[in-house]
Structure 1
Amino acid sequence: MILKANNIFKSYGDLEILKGVSISVKKGEIVSIVGASGAGKSTLLHIIGTLDKPDKGTVVIENQEVFALSEKNIADFRNRHIGFVFQFHHLLPEFTALENVCIPGFIAGTDRKVVEQRGMELLETLGVAHRAQHKPAAMSGGEQQRVSVARALINNPTLVLADEPSGNLDSENATALHQLFFDLRDKLQQTFIIVTHNEDLARISDRTIHMRDGLIY
């Protein structure tokens, strides 16, 4: 297993969000997490991605118990091992597509030429190499989301975590993005955990995890 999250609890004040959730994922698997708003899906994803800490429980990624690390080492582990795709892209408006893609690679300390070459290769793979020197405002929503996927992949992460990645796209672009995840899995053996309300994506995933009231059922 590439990921094992065991007995995860999380509360904010008196509000209990996660009530003992466990999940394991194999390399190359595409797993969708579905459920109503407030079920705890995004909170679980953020904890798996080390963006938030559980009150109780463990998260092991590639045999590393991530919350046993120092804050600095957690940040370094996250940058190297976890890629994120969000609903609203979160591209930096002052940078070009290529620069946005390369930022995690620069943070990791990888040689600039190596990062830029991989960034261009990813943009080519994702069909947006012609947008490499364009800033986000000059790109469509579908193009911006493909750039954000390239950014998530720049450091060859162990896991890609996607939170409603097609929620801001029309049906045609959403379908294309979903197919892209499977193409990347087949080509790069990439592993995806996707929080989604999109029934079509959940249906074609390798596995669907249903959440309700902070629990998996």
Structure 2
Amino acid sequence: MLKAVNIHKKYNQLEVLKGVSLEIAQREIVSIVGSSGAGKTTLLHILGTLDSADKGEIYLNNQPFHHLRDKKLADFRNKNIGFVFQFHHLLPEFTALENVCIPGWLAGRKKKEVETEAARLLSILGLKDRIENKPNQLSGGEQQRVAVARALINKPSIVFADEPTGNLDSANAKELHNLFFQLREEFSQTFLIVTHNEELAAMSDRILKMKDGLIEE
């Protein structure tokens, strides 16, 4: 479903990725672990089109996208990829419902259709009574669930999560990982997660260990 072949990336003279290849199947929940500086986040950002590789090929559902640029790349990202970050990046002036709707509106979907889907997702995630609350009225765990709903609003092929539990206490962290499995069952959703939390990584279907810019065999 997601395939990367021989991904290389340098920043000035620092070689961060040294020929990374991987494949993720549909409905898999895969964690990438490794020490700081191993290249985990760089790889995730390249796979998620937030950064570009110096060399290599990336395919999603057999469609190459490493060659896309500018608006075509942004459109592809918005329609096919969801993101969850350590810091929720919710817009403080908007309600939970509006934050979830934004990617759908950017995709040109009908306003009411997007709002209905956003409310449904927030209800599934246990936030039915919080849809009109703004981020500062929500707990950290609730904000992260809003971010998950936002990642799902355009029915992406894959969700990339970069340290999604790094800002949560242990109870909320475990709850979030359990939520990923619930969403896999409900939506056949695929997740690729970068995490330092090895206990939570162990819940995944597969763990990829990175060291010095490569995935260890």
TM band (smaller chain): over 0.9
Structure-2 separation of matches of 1:68 and 1:13: 22
Tell me the TM-score normalized by structure 2.
0.98
> Gapped runs of 5+ residues in structure 2?
none
Segments of 4+ in structure 1 off by > 4 A? none
Do structure 1's residue 67 and structure 2's residue 99 form an aligned pair?
no
| 2:105 alignment partner in structure 1 | 106
Q: Which secondary structure state, in structure 2, belongs to the residue aligned with residue 60 of structure 1? A: strand
Q: Could you tell me which amino acid in structure 1 is paired with residue 204 of structure 2?
A: S
CA distance in 1, matches of 2:13, 2:162: 25
Give the structure 1 partner of residue 3 of structure 2. Answer: 4
Q: Secondary structure at the match of 1:37?
A: coil
1:26 to 2:25 alignment: yes
Q: Distance in 2 between matches of 1:116 and 1:94?
A: 17
- Deviation string, structure 1 residues 101-148 (Cα, Å, up to 9, x no partner): 000000000111110000000000000121101110110000000000
In the alignment, what sits opposite 2:51? 52
SS across alignment from 2:156: coil
Q: Could you give the per-residue CA deviations for residues 44-75 of structure 1, whole angstroms, max 9, x where no partner exists?
A: 00000000000000110111111222321110
* Residue 119 of structure 2: aligned partner: 120
- The match for 2:171 is 172
Name the SS for the 1:122 alignment partner: helix
Q: Give ranges in structure 1 of 5+ residues lacking alignment.
A: none
Give the distance between the partners of 2:148 and 2:23, measured in 1 at CA: 23
1: CA distance, partners of 2:179 / 2:199: 14
TM-score (norm 1): 0.98
Q: Distance between the aligned counterparts of 2:149 and 2:8, measured in 1?
A: 32
- CA RMSD in angstroms comes to 0.6
